[in-house]
Amino acid sequence: MKWSAVGSSLFRMTVAAAVSSMAFLLPAFAQEQSAKTYRMDEIEVVAAPIIQGNVLDRYAAQKTLVSEDQINDLNAQDLASALRKTPGVNISRYNMIGSFGGAEGGAVFIRGQGSSRPGAEIKALVDGVPMYMSVWNHPLLDLMSIDPAHMIEVYKSPQPQNFGNAFAIVNILPKRMEDEGFQTRVQTAGGTYSTFIANGDHGGKIGAWDYFAGGGYRTADGHRDDSGGELKNLFGRVGYQLNPHWDLSVFALWNDNYSRDPGEKGAPASLQQGKYETRSFMTVATMSNRFERADGYVKVYQNTGDGDWLGQPRAGGVKEDLYNDFKFYGLKAREAFRFWKGGEIITGLDWEYAEGDYKQKFSNGARDQWNGEDFIIVSPYAAVSQLIGDKEGFFVIPSGGIRYYDNNEFDSEWAPHAGIILGYKNTEIFAGYARGIIYPGLDVMVFSEKVIPALRDTWKNLNAEKVDHYEVGIRHRFGTLAMADLTFFYDDGKDRYIVVPPPPPPPVYNNVEKFQTKGVEATLTVFPFKNVSVFGGATYLETDPNDLPYAPKFTASAGLNWRFLENFKLSLDCQYVSDFFTGSQARRLNAENTNEVDNYFILNGKLAYLFDVQQWGMAGEVYVAGENLTDTDYEYRPNYPMPGATGMVGIQLKF
């Protein structure tokens, strides 16, 4: 469904009215129904800033977690702002609200991965389900709504025991009710450049049933002409506990968004790249189980949507509207068995179907379309690990496993992994190896059939891209005082597919490019007092080729959460990024990136007054938040300046 200006305005007014009504009416309802109303736990005032932490699994593989607490403290309004301070992660954007889906207008990069357009090494998932543009094989960040997010998982390396067909992933885990009772949250805020935000959710658990539903609306005119954006989403989850061991749930997410390209500063408006609209609707049904010696799940899903790039300038003053449609459906099954003491066996199967097509309309009346194709990947996997010793003392956990890929268009592949963890109480030293596999997407067909027809069927000779990932690290927990992580990583990539131009003619697809990335990442979280938490993190990265886009040599971030004067909470976060190359990593032989932006330092803050009205069963916060408090001049792409100092005032209520 395409939203007209009237429909969009009605949606905005409806959400605002709903939030306002809930803010005024729910306290009275809570007072009348106090015996039945579930009141949320008191706000965690010293949650860790920036990230919740890094998690090391039994297979010597890590993921970084960003929870609702961090999203709230960062005053993040989308996935990019929620992750931009995460060590090892970099972003690009044009807009304050919304991520322009064309060019570099909205993307997340992980340790140098993710800059290929078309095609991407990073996959975006919601509840483990693909959420990206299949036609061009890369994520569209506006489809990754954060309102449903209980947790954001960032996997920064290949992990065949956890996911396939990607070198790294970002996964949003949806909210759910865990405890008996009810809870409600509403929030509204406004700020500079006509920024307006309204969102909320409500959940309940009654016996074997639980549910969670909500939505959000965000809009801003933008800090430059034609840099406005808008995000809308609705989500819901219903679960039923069949018995003590089995439960069934269904999750659904709808969103409808747009963002605009303001163009290079000083350039004619005719060169602006237009407007990018995104929509999607996904449903996921999950049957999960938990026994003493086994646990796992089966998911079936469908996800459909579109990414429409409107008003692209073409030669002779012609404008192009490109309507891209995508569809995913599939099955994911996984079970972990613990048949003997200290041992674990994982078995799993991913079956994924992806299709896409597009239509082109030109302002001169011309029309064209690509009728689309589909890819099917079947990917079984297995892994085993064994705890030797006792985690209260010395212990060792060796592990290994393999994932197999069967693709309906390309050759089969194997992805092995192995790891070991050596530990003593709160200290762990780990080392691991894993192979990452990513297949060419529908983009190679599009290019061969429409963009560069001279490529003919040379895409059929391509192989999957591969990366051999090596990682060594150490972790230590200083009781409840602090936690520290230090990780060294090395990626050796090969078989990157590119277009090899003449001579000799014709141009062909071929797997001839290689790349290497290596670096070190460190994080430290300290809780020096019960009302203070401090975070620091840094990443040093070297790449070959050295002009890899959005791969700065050094990044550092820090954050502080401080509860003071009983009812006040201060959250500060800052980031330093060294200069870096921009643009896309073009799939063309000997392509170079020459555009570069300077280093920058950004400071953000949020000051909240926390209150608790016990007679109404209500808690909440009134807050003021600011971004780029130092009014730094910075940009993610040359001549695309980002906003100076901006502010926001808001209120959040919980019942």
Using DSSP's 3-state secondary structure scheme, residue 70 falls into: helix
Place of tokens 């909240």: 608
Place of tokens 């989308």: 78
- CB under 8 Å to 613, separation ≥6 — which residues? 27, 619
pLDDT band at 614 (very low <50, low <70, confident <90, very high): confident
Range of the domain at 401: 5-654
Q: Return the pLDDT at 118.
A: 83
- CB under 8 Å to 416, separation ≥6 — which residues? 160, 400, 401, 402, 433, 434, 435
Q: What is the DSSP letter of 399?
A: E
Angle at Cα 105 formed by Cα 99 and Cα 107, nearest 5°?
Answer: 75
Instruction: Indicate if the pLDDT at residue 27 is higher than 80.
Output: no
**Model confidence pLDDT, tens digit, residues 378-431:** 999 999 999 999 999 999 999 999 999 999 999 999 999 999 999 999 999 999
Mark 198-213 as b/e (b = at least 16 C-beta within 10 Å): bbbbbbbbeeeebbbb
32 membership: H or E segment, kind and range? helix 5-32
Nearest partner of 260 among 102, 445, 29, 73, judged by Cα = 102
Looking from the CA of 547 toward its CB, the CA atoms found within 13 Å total 11
**Model confidence pLDDT, tens digit, residues 242-295:** 999 999 999 999 999 999 999 999 999 999 999 999 999 999 999 999 999 999
- Mean pLDDT, the chain, as a whole number? 92
Residue 263's identity, in one-letter code, is G
**Model confidence pLDDT, tens digit, residues 489-510:** 999 999 999 999 999 999 999 9
CA distance 31 to 185: 16
CA distance 615 to 569: 23
Task: Characterise 586 by phi-psi region: left (phi > 0), alpha (psi -120 to 50), beta (else).
Answer: beta
Using DSSP's 3-state secondary structure scheme, residue 565 falls into: coil
Average pLDDT over residues 68-94: 96
Question: φ and ψ at 394, to 5 degrees?
Answer: -80, 140
CB-based burial of residue 186 (10 Å sphere; 0-12 exposed, 13-18 middle, 19+ buried)? buried
Which of 10-19, 161-170, 342-351, 641-650 is least confident?
10-19
CA distance 285 to 238: 10
271 membership: H or E segment, kind and range? none
Q: Return the pLDDT at 1.
A: 38
Q: Kindly list the distances between the CA atom of residue 240 and the CA atoms of 235, 252, 335, 532, 646, in Å, as whole numbers in the listed order.
A: 17, 15, 20, 39, 44
Place of tokens 């237009």: 274
Q: In the chain, pLDDT over 70 holds for what percent of residues? A: 93
Query: Bigger pLDDT: 118 or 529?
Result: 529
Q: What is the DSSP letter of 121?
A: S
Instruction: Indicate if the pLDDT at residue 164 is higher than 60.
Output: yes
**Model confidence pLDDT, tens digit, residues 443-501:** 999 999 999 999 999 999 999 999 999 999 999 999 999 999 999 999 999 999 999 99
- Whether the upstream peptide bond of residue 49 has omega within 30° of 0, thus cis, is no
489 membership: H or E segment, kind and range? strand 482-500
Q: Which CATH number is 221's domain given?
A: 2.40.170.20
Beta strand 229-241 with 367-386: parallel, antiparallel or unpaired? unpaired
pLDDT band at 592 (very low <50, low <70, confident <90, very high): confident
pLDDT band at 591 (very low <50, low <70, confident <90, very high): confident
Q: What are 593's two structure tokens?
A: 């990136």
- Based on the structure, what is the number of domains in the chain? 1
Q: What is the DSSP letter of 498?
A: E
Query: Which segments of 388-500 does DSSP mark as H helices, in order?
Result: 442-446
Instruction: Indicate if the pLDDT at residue 31 is higher than 60.
Output: no
- CB under 8 Å to 24, separation ≥6 — which residues? none
pTM for this structure?
Answer: 0.92
Query: Bigger pLDDT: 35 or 546?
Result: 546
pLDDT band at 607 (very low <50, low <70, confident <90, very high): very high
